[in-house]
Protein backbone atom coordinates (compact mmCIF):
# COMPACT_ATOMS: atom_id res chain seq x y z
CA UNK A 1 0.00 0.00 0.00
CA UNK A 2 1.32 3.39 -0.93
CA UNK A 3 -0.24 4.92 2.19
CA UNK A 4 2.12 2.80 4.29
CA UNK A 5 5.07 4.55 2.65
CA UNK A 6 3.97 7.91 4.08
CA UNK A 7 5.38 9.37 7.25
CA UNK A 8 2.59 11.94 7.35
CA UNK A 9 -0.07 13.61 5.25
CA UNK A 10 0.74 17.32 4.98
CA UNK A 11 -2.30 18.42 3.00
CA UNK A 12 -5.39 16.36 2.28
CA UNK A 13 -7.13 16.15 -1.08
CA UNK A 14 -9.76 18.61 0.20
CA UNK A 15 -7.17 21.10 1.48
CA UNK A 16 -5.30 21.01 -1.81
CA UNK A 17 -8.53 21.49 -3.78
CA UNK A 18 -9.55 24.48 -1.66
CA UNK A 19 -6.15 26.15 -1.93
CA UNK A 20 -6.01 25.59 -5.71
CA UNK A 21 -9.49 27.09 -5.98
CA UNK A 22 -8.26 30.21 -4.15
CA UNK A 23 -5.22 30.46 -6.41
CA UNK A 24 -7.44 30.17 -9.46
CA UNK A 25 -9.65 32.98 -8.17
CA UNK A 26 -6.57 35.14 -7.59
CA UNK A 27 -5.25 34.48 -11.10
CA UNK A 28 -8.69 35.15 -12.57
CA UNK A 29 -8.67 38.58 -10.93
CA UNK A 30 -5.02 39.36 -11.75
CA UNK A 31 -5.15 38.33 -15.42
CA UNK A 32 -8.59 39.56 -16.48
CA UNK A 33 -8.37 40.59 -20.16
CA UNK A 34 -4.66 39.64 -20.40
CA UNK A 35 -4.97 36.30 -22.25
CA UNK A 36 -1.99 34.76 -20.43
CA UNK A 37 -0.02 31.66 -21.44
CA UNK A 38 0.43 29.17 -18.62
CA UNK A 39 3.64 27.20 -19.07
CA UNK A 40 3.63 23.91 -17.21
CA UNK A 41 6.95 22.32 -16.33
CA UNK A 42 6.63 18.62 -17.04
CA UNK A 43 6.13 16.22 -15.52
CA UNK A 44 5.62 17.32 -11.92
CA UNK A 45 3.21 20.17 -12.65
CA UNK A 46 0.65 18.25 -14.67
CA UNK A 47 -1.88 17.58 -11.92
CA UNK A 48 -1.59 21.04 -10.34
CA UNK A 49 -1.85 22.63 -13.79
CA UNK A 50 -4.95 20.63 -14.68
CA UNK A 51 -6.65 21.46 -11.39
CA UNK A 52 -5.59 25.12 -11.48
CA UNK A 53 -6.76 25.98 -15.00
CA UNK A 54 -10.20 24.61 -14.22
CA UNK A 55 -10.40 27.23 -11.46
CA UNK A 56 -9.41 30.14 -13.74
CA UNK A 57 -12.31 31.91 -15.35
CA UNK A 58 -10.53 34.24 -17.76
CA UNK A 59 -9.32 33.12 -21.23
CA UNK A 60 -5.83 31.59 -21.28
CA UNK A 61 -3.59 29.32 -23.32
CA UNK A 62 -1.49 26.37 -22.22
CA UNK A 63 1.96 25.30 -23.20
CA UNK A 64 4.57 22.99 -21.68
CA UNK A 65 8.29 22.67 -21.25
CA UNK A 66 10.25 19.74 -19.90
CA UNK A 67 13.40 20.49 -17.98
CA UNK A 68 15.33 17.35 -17.31
CA UNK A 69 16.96 17.05 -13.96
CA UNK A 70 19.92 14.82 -13.51
CA UNK A 71 19.70 11.87 -11.14
CA UNK A 72 17.41 12.27 -8.17
CA UNK A 73 15.96 15.31 -6.46
CA UNK A 74 18.88 15.54 -4.07
CA UNK A 75 21.40 15.85 -6.89
CA UNK A 76 21.37 19.26 -8.47
CA UNK A 77 23.93 20.02 -11.14
CA UNK A 78 22.91 23.59 -11.76
CA UNK A 79 22.21 22.90 -15.41
CA UNK A 80 18.87 23.11 -17.13
CA UNK A 81 18.31 21.04 -20.22
CA UNK A 82 15.06 21.78 -22.06
CA UNK A 83 14.00 18.43 -23.39
CA UNK A 84 10.75 19.93 -24.63
CA UNK A 85 10.44 23.57 -25.64
CA UNK A 86 7.40 25.83 -26.04
CA UNK A 87 5.35 25.41 -29.14
CA UNK A 88 4.55 29.10 -29.50
CA UNK A 89 6.39 32.41 -29.28
CA UNK A 90 5.89 34.25 -26.01
CA UNK A 91 7.13 37.64 -27.17
CA UNK A 92 4.79 40.32 -25.82
CA UNK A 93 2.70 37.74 -23.94
CA UNK A 94 1.89 37.43 -20.25
CA UNK A 95 3.52 34.19 -19.11
CA UNK A 96 2.82 32.25 -15.93
CA UNK A 97 5.25 29.40 -15.28
CA UNK A 98 3.51 26.63 -13.33
CA UNK A 99 5.63 24.21 -11.31
CA UNK A 100 5.04 21.61 -8.63
CA UNK A 101 7.64 22.79 -6.10
CA UNK A 102 10.24 25.52 -5.70
CA UNK A 103 13.11 23.95 -3.77
CA UNK A 104 16.71 25.08 -4.32
CA UNK A 105 15.39 27.18 -7.21
CA UNK A 106 18.21 26.12 -9.51
CA UNK A 107 15.98 24.61 -12.19
CA UNK A 108 13.42 27.39 -12.20
CA UNK A 109 15.88 30.27 -12.13
CA UNK A 110 17.58 28.90 -15.25
CA UNK A 111 14.26 28.30 -16.91
CA UNK A 112 13.00 31.79 -16.05
CA UNK A 113 16.25 33.33 -17.38
CA UNK A 114 15.80 31.43 -20.63
CA UNK A 115 12.16 32.47 -21.04
CA UNK A 116 12.94 36.12 -20.24
CA UNK A 117 15.34 36.20 -23.18
CA UNK A 118 12.27 35.74 -25.37
CA UNK A 119 10.78 39.08 -24.22
CA UNK A 120 7.42 38.21 -22.70
CA UNK A 121 5.29 41.19 -21.57
CA UNK A 122 5.47 39.73 -18.06
CA UNK A 123 6.62 36.53 -16.43
CA UNK A 124 5.32 35.22 -13.10
CA UNK A 125 5.93 32.01 -11.25
CA UNK A 126 3.14 29.93 -9.73
CA UNK A 127 4.00 26.89 -7.60
CA UNK A 128 1.90 24.48 -5.61
CA UNK A 129 4.63 24.11 -2.98
CA UNK A 130 7.49 26.27 -1.75
CA UNK A 131 10.36 24.81 0.31
CA UNK A 132 12.26 28.02 1.20
CA UNK A 133 14.71 26.39 3.63
CA UNK A 134 16.65 24.80 0.78
CA UNK A 135 16.78 27.83 -1.54
CA UNK A 136 20.13 28.42 -3.25
CA UNK A 137 19.19 30.48 -6.32
CA UNK A 138 17.77 33.98 -6.02
CA UNK A 139 14.20 33.29 -6.99
CA UNK A 140 10.81 33.56 -5.34
CA UNK A 141 7.40 32.50 -6.56
CA UNK A 142 4.66 35.06 -7.17
CA UNK A 143 1.92 32.57 -6.32
CA UNK A 144 2.45 29.84 -3.71
CA UNK A 145 -0.04 27.16 -2.68
CA UNK A 146 1.64 25.97 0.51
CA UNK A 147 4.99 26.53 2.19
CA UNK A 148 6.43 23.16 3.21
CA UNK A 149 9.18 22.13 5.63
CA UNK A 150 12.48 20.63 4.49
CA UNK A 151 11.13 17.12 3.96
CA UNK A 152 10.75 15.01 0.84
CA UNK A 153 7.14 15.26 -0.27
CA UNK A 154 5.18 13.32 -2.89
CA UNK A 155 1.71 13.33 -4.41
CA UNK A 156 -0.35 15.71 -6.59
CA UNK A 157 2.21 15.26 -9.36
CA UNK A 158 5.35 15.07 -7.21
CA UNK A 159 7.21 11.80 -7.53
CA UNK A 160 9.88 9.63 -6.07
CA UNK A 161 11.52 7.72 -8.93
CA UNK A 162 8.40 8.40 -11.03
CA UNK A 163 6.13 6.80 -8.42
CA UNK A 164 3.50 8.38 -6.12
CA UNK A 165 2.53 11.14 -8.57
CA UNK A 166 -1.08 9.95 -8.57
CA UNK A 167 -1.63 10.40 -4.82
CA UNK A 168 -4.47 12.91 -4.31
CA UNK A 169 -2.80 14.38 -1.20
CA UNK A 170 0.62 15.84 -0.34
CA UNK A 171 2.49 13.40 1.86
CA UNK A 172 5.91 13.16 3.44
CA UNK A 173 7.65 10.02 2.25
CA UNK A 174 9.14 7.77 4.93
CA UNK A 175 12.93 8.09 4.71
CA UNK A 176 13.12 4.25 4.80
CA UNK A 177 11.60 4.24 1.30
CA UNK A 178 14.50 6.14 -0.25
CA UNK A 179 17.41 5.50 2.08
P1 LIG B 1 14.92 22.94 -7.52
O2 LIG B 1 15.61 23.19 -8.82
O3 LIG B 1 14.07 24.10 -7.05
O4 LIG B 1 15.86 22.47 -6.46
O5 LIG B 1 13.98 21.70 -7.66
C6 LIG B 1 13.28 21.43 -8.79
C7 LIG B 1 12.71 20.05 -8.79
O8 LIG B 1 13.20 19.21 -7.73
C9 LIG B 1 11.23 20.09 -8.57
O10 LIG B 1 10.53 20.43 -9.74
C11 LIG B 1 10.97 18.67 -8.16
O12 LIG B 1 10.88 17.86 -9.30
C13 LIG B 1 12.19 18.29 -7.36
N14 LIG B 1 11.94 18.37 -5.91
C15 LIG B 1 12.43 19.25 -5.02
N16 LIG B 1 11.97 19.01 -3.79
C17 LIG B 1 11.17 17.93 -3.89
C18 LIG B 1 10.36 17.18 -2.95
O19 LIG B 1 10.27 17.44 -1.75
N20 LIG B 1 9.66 16.13 -3.47
C21 LIG B 1 9.70 15.78 -4.78
N22 LIG B 1 8.96 14.74 -5.16
N23 LIG B 1 10.43 16.47 -5.69
C24 LIG B 1 11.14 17.52 -5.24
MG1 LIG C 1 9.89 18.88 -11.32
pLDDT over 70 percentage in the chain: 92
Q: How, if at all, do strands 37-42 and 122-130 pair?
A: unpaired
Mean pLDDT of 87-96: 96
Instruction: List, as ranges, residues with CB under 5 A of the ion ligand 2.
Output: 44
- Identify which of 158, 170, 175 to mutate to test ligand 1's pocket (most ligand atoms within 8 A of the CB): 158
The residue whose CB lies within 8 Å of the most ligand 1 atoms, and thus the one to mutate among 79, 100, 112, is 100
Whether 98 lines ligand 1, by a CB cut-off of 6 Å, is: no
Q: What is the mean pLDDT of the segment spanning 156-169?
A: 97
* CA of 163 relative to ligand 1 center, distance in Å: 14
Query: What's the mean per-residue pLDDT of the chain?
Result: 92
From atom 15 of ligand 1, which residue's Cα is the shortest distance away?
103
Cβ–Cβ contacts within 10 Å for residue 33, how many?
6
CA of 118 to the centre of ligand 1 (A): 25
How much is the pLDDT for 73? 39
Does the CB atom of residue 44 touch ligand 1 within 6 A? yes
Contacts of 154 (CB under 8 A, 6+ apart): 160, 163, 164, 165, 167, 170, 171, 173
Q: Cα–Cα distance between 57 and 25 in angstroms, integer?
A: 8
- Model confidence at 47, pLDDT cuts 50, 70, 90, reads very high
CB 96 within 8 A of CB 107: no
| pLDDT (0 to 100) of residue 179 | 86
pLDDT at 70 over 70: no
pLDDT band at 84 (very low <50, low <70, confident <90, very high): confident
- Interhelix angle for 13-30 vs 46-53, to 10°? 60
Q: What is the pLDDT of residue 79?
A: 55
pTM of the model: 0.93
CB neighbours of residue 124 within 10 Å: 18
pLDDT at position 68 is 66
**Within 10 Å of residue 91's Cβ, how many Cβ atoms?**
9
pLDDT band at residue 83 using 50, 70 and 90 as cut-offs: confident
pLDDT 10s digits, 109-160: 989 999 999 999 999 999 999 999 999 999 999 999 999 999 999 999 999 9
Amino acid sequence: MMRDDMKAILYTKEEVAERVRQMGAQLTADYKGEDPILVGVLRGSFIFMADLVRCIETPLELDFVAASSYGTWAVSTGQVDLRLDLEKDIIGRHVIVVEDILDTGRTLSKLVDELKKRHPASLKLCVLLDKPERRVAQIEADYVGFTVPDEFVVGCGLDFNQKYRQLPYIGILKPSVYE
